[in-house]
Amino acid sequence: MPLGFAHHHLLGIRQLSRQDIERIFEQAEHFLPYCRSAMYRLPDLRGRTVVLAFFEPSTRTRVSFELAARRLSADVVSFQAAGSSLAKGESLLDTLETLESMGVDAVVVRHRDSGVVWFLQRFLRCSIINAGDGQHEHPTQALLDGFTLWKRFGSLEGLRVCIIGDILHSRVARSNIELLSRFGAEVGICGPGTLIPQQAEQSWKVRRFFVLEDALQWAQAVIVLRLQRERMESGLIPSLQEYHRFYGLTRERLARAPHLCLLHPGPTNYGVELTREVAASPQSLIRQQVHYGVAIRMAVLKLVVGDRIAR
Ligand code: ASP
């Protein structure tokens, strides 16, 4: 394995080279046998402290980071925004500087403001890991999605992947488009016009599908997204039923594309972007994604925090 990982933070996929991503995949592959059970505790982060600072709801990402840090023997602290001095008017930066002064080596941050991690890394010396900033980036989700596809297909080069749904508000879509394009995959997008950013085709070099059936015939894999209603202005879709009728992945639609496998970052809203049957079908890689997520986050923590020369 080559020496030294060039990054002391993980802010977004945009800052990573293809080699960096391959390095993370190789490291995750190595950790896979150790990520399922607390029987194994590897020493890579012994003596390091990782704070999980989630200012937006999360199940998968937060628990997955916590398990990953523990499997590598780190001390893990979950910062609870509710009940903290943020409620007394303390700024986010002051809060994190206070935590850093207590000897923290890394902060895993999720926040509703796009770009917040870029701001924080200018002031903090500890490592910052982006666990989702607004509608901007969610790098570890894209890494685990890319890893899932890489394990399934053996390569991402030339792979046809279509992202379906609320592209406009999705940090998962943005990070995945960056990552997949870096590897020479062909990326498609499909969704209602109100949920696709203007100029998407030109600025991302993606292929736009207007009809779901066409996208399903073209793609080898689809990444199905939740409608991010917490970030949406009202009136972007007529109704959830209408959305499901045109863009929902159902058993009938999937049956007409037997070659296809599907991913979803979670949480799923059954009866909207897909049905429960589809999520549980043999074509679904959703459970694999969650499993690989722990190995990917172990790899990121090891390379970004564990291999960092002590401050
Ligand atoms: N869990 C993903 C995220 O945090 C996707 C979603 O919430 O729909 O962006």
| Mutation to probe ligand 1, out of 54, 62, 113, 138 (largest number of atoms < 8 A from CB) | 138
1-10, 139-148, 201-210, 234-243: which has the minimum mean pLDDT? 1-10
φ/ψ of residue 133, rounded to 5: -115, 110
pLDDT given at position 4? 64
| Domains of the chain and CATH, by start | 13-137+290-310 (3.40.50.1370), 139-286 (3.40.50.1370)
Question: Average per-residue pLDDT in the chain?
Answer: 94
Q: Is 264 in the pocket of ligand 1 (CB under 6 A)?
A: no
d(CA 207, CA 84): 45
Taking only the tens place, the pLDDT of each residue in 244-268 is 999 999 999 999 999 999 999 999 9
C-beta of residue 146 within 8 angstroms of C-beta of residue 193: no
Residue 138 CA, closest ligand 1 atom number: 9
Taking only the tens place, the pLDDT of each residue in 182-234 is 999 999 999 999 999 988 888 899 999 999 999 999 999 999 999 998 888 77
Taking only the tens place, the pLDDT of each residue in 2-33 is 456 889 999 999 999 999 999 999 999 999 99
CA 57 to chain centre: 14
φ/ψ of residue 13, rounded to 5: -65, -30
Average pLDDT over every residue of 269-274: 97
C-beta of residue 269 within 8 angstroms of C-beta of residue 241: no
d(CA 35, CA 72): 9
**pTM to 2 decimal places:** 0.96
Tokens in use for 186? 């062909």
d(CA 116, CA 93): 10
d(CA 50, CA 103): 10
Confidence of residue 40 (pLDDT cuts 50, 70, 90): confident
d(CA 145, CA 254): 20
42 Cα to the center of ligand 1, angstroms: 29
C-beta of residue 71 within 8 angstroms of C-beta of residue 41: yes
